[in-house]
Homo-oligomer: A and B are copies of this chain.
Amino acid sequence: MSMTVSELAEMVGAKVVGDGRVVVTGVAGIREASEGDLTFLSNPKYEKYLSTTGASAVVVDEQHAAPREGLALLVSDQAYAAFARAMEIMGPVEDRPEPGVDRTAVVAQDAVIGAGAAVGANAVVMEEAAIGNRAVVHAGAYIGRGVTVGAESVVHANVTLKARCTVGRRVIVHSGTVIGSDGFGFALGEPGGVHRKVPQVGTVVIEDDVEIGSNVCIDRATLGATRIGRGTKIDNLVQIGHNVVVGEGAVIVAQVGISGSTEVGSGAVLAGQAGIAGHITIGERAVVGAQSGVTRSIPAGAIVSGYPARDHRLTKRLLAGLSHLPALFSRVRTLERRLDEMEED
């Protein structure tokens, strides 16, 4: 792919400062870029690299719109989004199977493969499954009985979608992820006795525009559905228990665990390695700090952290208090001595 800065600026909705005739052929980081590359000022502390970068062009925000010798600027008040669009246009070709069903894929006779859809090498599509138009099922993926994958969704290599789960449109599921395994449900007959499996006969529903990272687990509901709302983004190695319901546009960072039957409101953000207890509610747009342990429901808009998770400012005060604890011990010791001396007098 090769185009002028002016052509690219028009496509991504930026204005040009400098020479719009400069040709760009690829994208690179501001420190690694060389001639022909487009780059991006992503981090204010990288501002110094603007004067040393080898790139031919750079996407910047309005604050960095001053002309620079030998560097074409694409200026946008939504610089990150503009660069994202530029990467889509200029980025390298990724691996994906050709449209159609690979001759080594195993597709049940009554499965439906949409127009323009691709099913990669050694992928398996079971009975009654339906793959939407222009959807891509990569090599080695498993699409269980009765699963539906919506139009333009991408199921990456070695993903497992178990029976009857539904995946919406434009969803991305990264490699190694398992959706629809049995929830962790057992009935204890008597103390110390055998753990009797409770059949997990519900499903998982992934709504449109969700992206799910690698090696994630989303368990099927005992009854009903485990549900991930439209536009929610889930990072790698996340655990989502049976009957969890996540709202729209939530952000769930790597290695988070959400126990069964909990509800996570729309727009909530769960930072890395946080753990959420079962049967509680995380309010809309609430923020849970990294490594927090949330043991009770938290209201909409709350910002919590720590274990047990509490208001983030309180947690910070308590951790600060903990830091000063050795000093407090000394102060109490001093008080005791002073009092002893006074009483001796």
Contacts and interface: CB of A to CB of B under 8 A. Distances in A.
B241 A259 contact: no
A145 B121 CA distance: 13
A217 B214 contact: yes
A102 B121 CA distance: 14
A307 B291 contact: yes
A153 interface: no
A157 interface: yes
Nearest to A31: B224
Contacts of A139: 106, 124, 126, 142
A233 interface: yes
A84 B178 contact: no
Contact of A215 (B178, B253, B317): B178
Interface stretch (A8-16, A17-25, A63-71, A332-340): A332-340
A217 B217 contact: no
Given A175-B160, A192-B249, A277 B255 contact: no
Interface string A189-217: 10011111111011000000101011111
Nearest to A26: B201
A175 B142 contact: yes
Contacts of A195: 231, 233, 249, 251
Interface string A217-251: 10101111000000101011101010000000101
B241 A257 contact: no
Contacts of A323: 318
A192 B336 contact: no
Q: For chain A, what secondary structure do more than half of its interface residues adopt (helix, strand, loop), or is it mixed?
A: loop
Interface range for A = 35 or more
A299 interface: no
Nearest to A219: B236
Contact of A335 (B32, B121, B307, B335): B335
Interface of A: 27-29, 31-32, 39-40, 42-43, 78, 80-81, 83-84, 87-88, 91-95, 102, 104, 106, 120-122, 124, 126-127, 138-140, 142, 144-146, 156-158, 160, 162-164, 172, 174-178, 181-182, 184, 186-187, 189, 192-199, 201-202, 209, 211, 213-217, 219, 221-224, 231, 233, 235-237, 239, 241, 249, 251, 253-255, 257, 259, 267, 272-273, 275, 277, 279, 285, 290-291, 293, 306-308, 317-319, 321-326, 328-329, 331-332, 335-336, 338-339, 342-343
30 contacts: A29-B202, A84-B196, A88-B199, A91-B199, A102-B106, A106-B139, A126-B139, A140-B160, A174-B181, A174-B182, A176-B177, A178-B215, A181-B213, A186-B233, A192-B249, A194-B209, A195-B249, A214-B219, A215-B215, A235-B239, A255-B255, A277-B290, A290-B293, A318-B323, A321-B325, A321-B326, A321-B329, A322-B322, A331-B332, A342-B342
